[in-house]
Amino acid sequence: MKTLNDFDFKNKKALIRVDFNVPLDENFSVTDATRIEAAKPTIDAILKQGGSVILMSHLGRPKGVEEQYSLKHILKTASEILGVPVQFASDCIGKEATDAAANIKAGEVLLLENLRFHKEEEAGDVAFAKELASLGDIYVNDAFGTAHRAHASTTIIAQFFDEKKCFGLLLAKEIESLNKVLKNSEKPVTAILGGSKVSSKITVIENILDKVDHMIIGGGMTFTFVKALGGKIGDSICEDDKQELALEILKLAKEKGVEIHIPVDVVAANAFSNDAETKIVNVKEIPDGWQGLDAGPKSLEHFKKVVMESKTILWNGPLGVFEMPNFANGTVELGNFIAEATANGAFSLVGGGDSVAAVKQFGLEDKVSYVSTGGGAMLEMLEGKVLPGIAAILE
């Protein structure tokens, strides 16, 4: 696996695919700079060696050129985080981009305009990729969040660099962390899968059953399993057409010697609202008109025991509707259990939009081993897929 360490960037122009798809408020100010901060170590390392950096990214889902999706809005934040004034080219190809790239000097950073202002980016257009490739000497992919897309800047471009292509520090760390769970894990391994739908996690479950010892199932997914097992789930969320699949998963897990842990009690509410009336009920006996919105105390007690005995932990998806304070306890407590297990020497990987949002919201980011930056990309790796952006560097 080629990384930055395999190259000398002195007097070289590094063309880096970063993921600067950051949220902006109504005044176009960056509200969460995590992704820019995540790319900083790679950029710093190249500048330190006397190289220059040309950054490519997308922002949002523009239909052609749309002012609100211009990357010029993030220049101020990027300059502050990187500690150097970031120059800007108002296009990513054509004369302006070519001239700006030609004039960049060692120690300088240039940001190209939004790649998705050109439909050729998402189409994986070869001519477009070739034009981007002409701007730099060495191609560095540091965008895990888009590694599962075969776009021009993430995948197609790599063919124009022969041996002069590598992973950035962030992407290398993502691959290493996922491999630590999927290939080189210390046992016992526990996967915690939450969220609302079984259907969105089914291929993940099937792929990782061979690699884990325990699987905790939480969140809305719980009720599809409980109903399939003959429980009464009241008005709880449920994918009725996935009940048979849920039973198959349980059967398969048993055959493979994997212990599946499902909540035994829940915090039920008489409406989907933070102000609803609540009570703790057996997960198989939720009254009509009530719905389970968080894991109950007995479930958490049991989950804690499983987590504390684990040496490798993967967490993807919350245990309840954590956006509402009254139903956040299960997710917060689970985060605390994982933090404690990590402090005791376990390796913990957290990924997927909601889980990442939860660890940040509850201040647990520095208490787990690694927080993944790519939701969709991480899920596809967990499903056992080869990501095109990663394969393109390895070829």
User: Which residues are known to be catalytic?
Assistant: 35, 197, 353, 376
149 labeled binding residue = yes
288 labeled binding residue = no
Instruction: Tokens 């599946």: give the residue.
Output: 260
61 labeled binding residue = yes
355 labeled binding residue = yes
Instruction: Tokens 């211009």: give the residue.
Output: 70
Reading the block at residue 241, the tokens are: 């057409």
Rg of the chain on CA atoms, in Å: 23
CA-CA distance, 336 to 191, in Å (whole number)? 16
60 labeled binding residue = yes
**C-beta of residue 210 within 8 angstroms of C-beta of residue 333:** no
58 labeled binding residue = yes
384 labeled binding residue = no
In the sheet with 214-217, reading across from the earlier edge strand, the strands are: 259-261, 214-217, 189-193, 312-316, 347-350, 370-371
348 labeled binding residue = no
292 labeled binding residue = yes
**C-beta of residue 349 within 8 angstroms of C-beta of residue 175:** no
353 labeled binding residue = yes
96 labeled binding residue = no
19 labeled binding residue = yes
DSSP β-ladder status, 138-141 and 86-89: unpaired
323 labeled binding residue = yes
Give the per-residue SS3 of 331-354: HHHHHHHHHHHHHCCCEEEECCHH
Give the per-residue SS3 of 101-134: HHHCCCCCEEEECCHHHCHHHHHCCHHHHHHHHC
Q: Is 285 helix (H, G, I), strand (E, B) or coil?
A: strand
- Residues tagged in the binding site annotation for (2R)-3-phosphoglycerate: 35, 116, 149
- Residues tagged in the binding site annotation: 19-21, 35, 58-61, 116, 149, 201, 292, 323, 352-355
- Residues tagged in the binding site annotation for substrate: 19-21, 35, 58-61, 116, 149
- Residues tagged in the binding site annotation for ATP: 201, 292, 323, 352-355
